[in-house]
């Protein structure tokens, strides 16, 4: 019934890191507080940074688990094998996180779902 060939996603792999997404500075969009379409400012907001792994709670939890105990250098709880280059980086891009601010009531709202892009350029 079906041709026994390689699937399409194995042949064509989109390179997101080279895609730059252009977004306008303002757009007309529905405002839930005004209950009508208004002009809204678009701002690209960065997502929060990663939490530090060696914070107070993390160190205390590791000590109760018995990590880093003993004589000698236990740098970050002992040596680990070298990780292959393939496993070092999972995602090369981030999803967009846009905030829309209404110019009438100045209320802000985030976008529902971000799209994956290498770079966001505002025009």
**For 41-54, how does the pLDDT look when each residue is reduced to its tens digit (9 = 90+)?**
999 998 777 777 77
Q: What are phi and psi of 111, to 5 degrees?
A: -70, 155
**CA dihedral sign of residues 79, 81, 84, 88:** negative
Q: Which domains does the chain have, with CATH numbers?
A: 27-46+93-123 (3.10.450.80)
Question: Can you give the pTM of this predicted structure?
Answer: 0.59
pLDDT level of residue 2 (50, 70, 90 thresholds): low
Query: Looking at per-residue confidence, does 7 or 37 come out higher?
Result: 37
**For 14-63, how does the pLDDT look when each residue is reduced to its tens digit (9 = 90+)?**
555 567 889 999 999 999 999 999 999 999 998 777 777 778 888 888 88
How far CA 46 is from CA of 6, 95, 97, 98, in Å, comes to 38, 10, 7, 9
Distance CA(8)–CA(5), nearest Å, equals 9
């Amino acid at each position: 019934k079906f041709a026994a060939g390689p699937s399409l996603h194995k042949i064509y792999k989109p390179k997101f890191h080279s895609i730059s997404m252009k977004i306008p500075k303002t757009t007309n969009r529905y405002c839930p507080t005004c209950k009508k379409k208004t002009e809204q400012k678009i701002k690209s907001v960065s997502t929060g940074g990663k939490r530090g792994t060696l914070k107070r709670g993390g160190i205390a939890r590791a000590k109760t688990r018995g990590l880093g105990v003993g004589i000698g250098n236990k740098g970050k709880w002992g040596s680990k094998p070298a990780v292959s280059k393939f496993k070092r980086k999972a995602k090369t891009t981030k999803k967009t996180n846009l905030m829309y601010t209404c110019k009438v009531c100045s209320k802000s709202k985030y976008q529902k779902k971000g799209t994956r892009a290498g770079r966001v350029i505002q025009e």
